[in-house]
A = this chain, B = another copy of it.
């Protein structure tokens, strides 16, 4: 695994939250919070990345995450190019590294990579020149670090801290990069009551998610929870193996107002989107007063601005001194 931090403790790459210290996460969250604006007011803007170039390398370009990274980069003054590439496979006989070297030779400063194949962002990071940063925008089922940060930021905005909170992550944990990055973020930031809630077929391997309690019903999983994080369930998995169809999934694991009532009265409801309304979550809940789903989107831009800025400017913030 390539080192993600520079010798001065600042972030150079962001491929996984695993192994990042609490100080580092706290600093990134603080930077991110500085970029948050209430909706209806102008977005944050700066010129700190003027003249820098960010390349979005997505296998499928029309995603909210691509737009979130693109706007984050543009609002910092960077040039952005979007490429639809399959880094994992060979396109026209060209290897992944030739694409990477080419982008580097075009003076690209940061490569934002979303790829279906595990290991690609780290392989790229291991091979780029010292001045280039690699930021994962979602890696297979393994990692989605900016999502983990934005989820942590969203919780902190509502609950101030993660210590002492009971957080339930519900749904297809086994295949979820969001769950894995949330796990690393929440645990590192002090959450000690983290619960994973899933039907047996969607539970992760026993050696993953150490320290989490496991629940196969919403009733026990949500009991007195402060935070309920619902995951998207892929329709394609429905009806497969031991997994029930959509209606039966909703009947057992769909978050309804009644079930949410089992959590704390001030519990917040989160979802990384896109949502399957009526499958993993009822619209009444998604659009209800406890939902912070739109805050998550807003915080996503802020987190990506913070990460891009620190990765590309390398400036050690005051809090970085003690960071590992």
Q: Could you mark each residue 73-117 of chain A with 1 if its beta carbon is under 8 Å from any beta carbon of chain B, else 0?
A: 011000101011100000111110011011111110000000000
- Is A71 engaged at the interface, CB distance under 8 Å to the other chain? yes
Q: How distant is A51 from chain B, measured CB to nearest CB, in Å?
A: 5
Known A294-B105, A301-B106; judge A45-B51 contact (CB<8 A): yes
Q: With A and B bound together, what is the CA distance between A117 and B94 in angstroms?
A: 24
Known A84-B62, A85-B62; judge A106-B274 contact (CB<8 A): no
- Is A122 engaged at the interface, CB distance under 8 Å to the other chain? no
- Is A131 engaged at the interface, CB distance under 8 Å to the other chain? yes
Q: With A and B bound together, what is the CA distance between A83 and B275 in angstroms?
A: 19
Does B106 lie within 8 Å of A298, measured CB to CB? yes
Does B107 lie within 8 Å of A81, measured CB to CB? no
- Is A241 engaged at the interface, CB distance under 8 Å to the other chain? no
Q: Could you mark each residue 14-45 of chain A with 1 if its beta carbon is under 8 Å from any beta carbon of chain B, else 0?
A: 00000000000000000000000101101101
Known A79-B75, A94-B273, A98-B275; judge A297-B130 contact (CB<8 A): no
* A interface residues, tally (CB under 8 Å): 56
Q: How distant is A61 from chain B, measured CB to nearest CB, in Å?
A: 8
Instruction: Show 19 residue pairs from A and B whose CB-CB distance is below 8 angstroms, ordered by the A residue.
Output: A39-B107, A40-B129, A40-B130, A42-B52, A42-B107, A43-B107, A55-B67, A61-B84, A62-B83, A64-B106, A70-B81, A71-B107, A75-B79, A91-B274, A92-B274, A94-B275, A101-B294, A102-B297, A105-B294
Contacts A42-B51, A105-B296 given; 18 further ones with Cβ under 8 A? A37-B107, A39-B105, A39-B107, A43-B51, A64-B106, A71-B81, A92-B274, A93-B232, A93-B274, A93-B279, A94-B273, A94-B274, A94-B275, A98-B277, A104-B294, A105-B295, A105-B297, A106-B301
